[in-house]
Amino acid sequence: MKNVIFIGMPAVGKSTVGVVVAKRLGYDFIDTDLLIQKQENRLLREIIAEQGVDEFLKIENQVNRDLEAEYAVISPGGSVVYCEEAMQHFKEIGTIIYLKVSFDVIKERLKNPKKRGVTLRDGQTLRDLYDERVCLFEKYADITIEEDGLNLEETIDKVHEVLGI
């Protein structure tokens, strides 16, 4: 198996699940949001506030598109699905797993989207964003895991099951 890439809305557990799966596989763990922050020397929310969503997406595309990894679990930001080059790159280097959670669960987990660096455009609600992204997550996913009603350990077990490990 090459790499495992988790996609999904913010607060679905991409990083949390990813770290545990990486440990169990003996893989590296890469959080591409941290790579963006390191490259830009700013927090995600600062990049978005100072440069806007479109400029942030260009940076996100570049960082994810240029990522070189082998035997890694990769956790990109939720907005990576707007980045065609990045998503094509991920398709080529690994298996993409969509961690799917209902809107109500996302809303409950994600108290303040702006503090999490969520890329909301002017006038866009969290619901609008969720509805817009779901079809993109489904488009790019090799595997979808429905997380509603699962705890962390059950989600991790499902990941292992679908990967055959």
| Per-residue pLDDT tens over the stretch 112-144 | 666 555 767 778 788 998 999 999 999 999 999
Cβ pair 141, 7 in contact under 8 A: yes
The token pair at 130 is 């969720």
Cβ pair 38, 88 in contact under 8 A: no
Average pLDDT over residues 34-39: 96
What pLDDT shows up at residue 88? 97
What pLDDT shows up at residue 117? 56
Pairing between strand 72-75 and 143-146?
A: unpaired
| Per-residue pLDDT tens over the stretch 140-160 | 999 999 998 888 899 999 998
Cα(128)–Cα(98) distance, integer angstroms? 19
The whole-model pTM stands at 0.91
Average pLDDT over residues 96-117: 81
Burial of 117 (0-12, 13-18, 19+ CB in 10 A): buried
